[in-house]
């Protein structure tokens, strides 16, 4: 390719024209002419850099930057949480109504209890969202001691159901202390790791007392109640806290090997777990039973739902084909009644919740805040991922509920309280004039009010100050007399100003 000369003189000298073409190509940056006259296109940004640029641009346009942050992260967390809770109450009513009627109870029994705990949980969530998280740090040791005491009481006076002993009867309700232990452990680990921040590069300070005896004691008490699923979630919370605290990565490799060996030992020593693993791999148990029928019928429910489902309340698998359909396998009922579209909506809501919480985590400068928010994020999203993997047959059956959706008052209450802690951190990132003040002023109306405040503040900062005129400058530099000040202060609004008296006029 020969460069086109820009001047008539360059056309008579080919060497000059070639050099001119190379210079032009190097200035524009679109092509570079070589010695042979060929053009080489300049390298553009890499795909990963483009994705990061689009991501940052999207969130900057959505939330703003600097002092113009409108708090969209706060409202995304709040909105997705309330939406998932509402979907959970609706699906609990649909999935539990048939078995409740068959047992001679009201069809609204389970949904009524779920709604009651949802109301209490939403109230606690908004209370915690208005509390400074630093105040929670003072009760961390009390919370972890209370968690140990409750877990011991479960083994002594607790109630056993479906092979697991992890409930305590409190009047007409049942409470699951292992759910409260998740939040207490996350708060306690964040407090201890923050206090030992300068010593975490040493293995003994990173593991003691966070892992030994803290997390290991909680996991041991839960396993004594034969609840492997909850113990797995507590392991995830512990690993997340250590990761966000900046612990050396080789410790995670050692912990992974130890956990793999421990899981294999627990699986081999339990015939029920061995049978579940064999059924999951397509084999038959030694006694000929199929304990994987729950997952099999869950797949039938997802397959029969199709794109748009069979209709809300029209599930067939909830007629005792899926045990605990309103609890661990409620995602299968969602897929059957609402179809693939319904399951995608739930996945999108969890993705929005996880992305918004992740933005809160990465924005934290304090180690305590970062560890606490990161542990809660991994807790909720990890539990949701494992539940969906079990329902879809990707993992063997373990008793893990779907956060905000599965039936269970203790799990719903503690999940909403955890979201309240994250909302407190997200609210602290907003400008003071943009923060929601009232406890119950939330939703689209509150978000619109925040946007109006932001626009008004922006207009106020951009409006130039008017220069004072000559009369204003004269009035500002001239001190008022005492009589004038007194008369103006005593004069009523709207009254006429009396004419000044003429001192030269004689009195009659």
- Per-residue pLDDT tens over the stretch 1-53: 444 444 444 444 444 444 444 444 444 444 444 445 555 555 566 787 888 78
Average confidence (pLDDT) over 395-413 = 90
Estimate the share of the chain in helix, then strand, then coil, as percent rounded to the nearest 5: 65, 5, 30
**What is the per-residue pLDDT across 288-307, written as a single tens digit (0 to 9) for each?**
566 677 788 888 999 998 89
> What is the overall mean pLDDT for the chain?
79
Distance between terminal CA atoms of the chain? 110
CB atoms within 10 A of CB 173: 13
Tokens matching residue 376: 């809660």
- What distance in Å separates the CA atoms of residue 435 and residue 421, rounded to the nearest whole number? 15
Quick one: pLDDT at residue 63?
A: 60
Give percent of the chain with pLDDT exceeding 70: 72
Output the CA–CA distances (angstroms, integers) from residue 19 to 3, 22, 36, in the order listed. 9, 5, 12
Average confidence (pLDDT) over 488-508 = 51
**Location of structure tokens 């630093």:** 134
Three-class SS of 138-198: CCHHHHHHHHHHHHHHHHHHCEEECCEEEEEEECCEEECHHHHHHHHHHHHHHHHHHHCHH
- Produce one character per residue of 264-283: b if its CB has 16 or more CB atoms within 10 Å, e if not: eeeeeeeeebebbbbbbeee
In the predicted model, is pLDDT for residue 107 greater than 50? yes
Residue 470's pLDDT band, with cuts at 50, 70 and 90, is: low
Quick one: pLDDT at residue 405?
A: 95
Quick one: pLDDT at residue 241?
A: 94
In the predicted model, is pLDDT for residue 478 greater than 90? no
Q: Is the pLDDT higher at 198 or at 493? A: 198
Instruction: Decide if 361 contacts 244 (C-beta within 8 A).
Output: yes
Mean pLDDT check: name the lowest of 84-88, 342-346, 472-476: 472-476
Residue 416's pLDDT band, with cuts at 50, 70 and 90, is: very high
Average confidence (pLDDT) over 439-456 = 60
Average confidence (pLDDT) over 304-314 = 89
**What is the per-residue pLDDT across 202-257, written as a single tens digit (0 to 9) for each?**
888 888 899 988 899 999 999 888 888 899 899 999 999 999 998 888 888 888 88
Quick one: pLDDT at residue 64?
A: 54
Residue 111's pLDDT band, with cuts at 50, 70 and 90, is: very high
**What is the per-residue pLDDT across 46-97, written as a single tens digit (0 to 9) for each?**
787 888 788 777 766 666 555 446 678 899 999 999 999 999 999 999 999 8
Tokens matching residue 213: 């005896």
- What distance in Å separates the CA atoms of residue 505 and residue 493, rounded to the nearest whole number? 30
In the Cβ-directed half-sphere of 469, how many Cα atoms lie within 13 Å? 1
In the predicted model, is pLDDT for residue 407 greater than 80? yes
Residue 388's pLDDT band, with cuts at 50, 70 and 90, is: very high
In the predicted model, is pLDDT for residue 494 greater than 80? no
Give percent of the chain with pLDDT exceeding 90: 36
Quick one: pLDDT at residue 9?
A: 44
């Amino acid at each position: 390719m020969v460069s086109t000369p820009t001047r008539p003189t360059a056309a008579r000298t080919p060497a000059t024209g070639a050099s001119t073409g190379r210079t032009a190509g190097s200035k524009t940056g679109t092509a570079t002419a070589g010695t042979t006259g060929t053009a080489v296109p300049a390298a553009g940004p890499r795909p990963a850099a483009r994705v990061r640029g689009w991501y940052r641009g999207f969130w900057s346009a959505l939330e703003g930057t600097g002092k113009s942050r409108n708090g969209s992260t706060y409202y995304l967390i709040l909105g997705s949480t309330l939406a998932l809770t509402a979907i959970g109450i609706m699906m609990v009513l649909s999935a539990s109504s048939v078995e409740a009627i068959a047992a001679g109870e009201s069809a609204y029994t389970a949904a009524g209890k779920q709604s009651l705990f949802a109301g209490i949980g939403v109230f606690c969530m908004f209370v915690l969202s208005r509390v400074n998280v630093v105040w929670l740090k003072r009760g961390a040791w009390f919370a972890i001691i209370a968690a140990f005491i409750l877990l011991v009481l479960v083994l002594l006076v607790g109630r056993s159901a479906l092979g697991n002993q992890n409930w305590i009867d409190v009047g007409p309700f049942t409470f699951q202390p292992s759910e409260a232990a998740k939040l207490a452990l996350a708060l306690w680990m964040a407090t201890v790791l923050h206090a030992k921040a300068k010593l975490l590069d040493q293995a003994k300070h990173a593991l003691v007392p966070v892992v030994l005896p803290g997390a290991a004691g909680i996991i041991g008490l839960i396993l004594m109640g034969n609840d492997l699923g909850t113990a797995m979630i507590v392991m995830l919370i512990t690993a997340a806290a250590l990761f966000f605290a900046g612990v050396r990565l080789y410790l995670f490799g050692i912990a992974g090997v130890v956990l793999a060996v421990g899981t294999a030992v627990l699986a081999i020593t339990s015939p029920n777990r061995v049978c579940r693993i064999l059924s999951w791999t397509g084999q038959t148990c030694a006694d000929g039973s199929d304990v994987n029928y729950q997952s099999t019928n869950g797949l039938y429910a997802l397959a029969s739902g199709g794109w748009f489902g069979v209709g809300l309340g029209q599930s067939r698998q909830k007629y005792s084909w899926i045990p605990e359909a309103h609890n661990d396998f409620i995602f299968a009922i969602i897929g059957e009644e609402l179809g693939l579209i319904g399951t995608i909506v739930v996945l999108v809501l969890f993705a929005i919740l996880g992305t918004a919480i992740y933005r809160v985590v990465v924005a934290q400068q304090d180690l305590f805040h970062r560890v606490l928010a990161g542990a809660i994020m991994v807790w909720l999203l990890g539990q949701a991922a494992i539940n969906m993997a079990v329902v879809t047959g990707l993992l063997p059956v373990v008793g893990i509920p779907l956060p905000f959706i599965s039936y269970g008052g203790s799990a719903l209450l503690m999940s909403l309280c955890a979201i309240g802690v994250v909302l407190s951190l997200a609210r602290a990132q907003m400008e003071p004039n943009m923060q929601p003040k009232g406890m119950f002023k939330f939703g689209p109306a509150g978000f619109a009010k925040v946007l109006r405040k932001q626009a008004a503040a922006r207009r106020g900062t951009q409006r130039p100050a008017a220069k004072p005129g000559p009369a204003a400058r004269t009035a500002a530099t001239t001190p008022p007399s005492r009589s004038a000040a007194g008369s103006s202060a005593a004069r009523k609004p709207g009254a006429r100003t009396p004419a000044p008296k003429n001192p030269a006029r004689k009195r009659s």
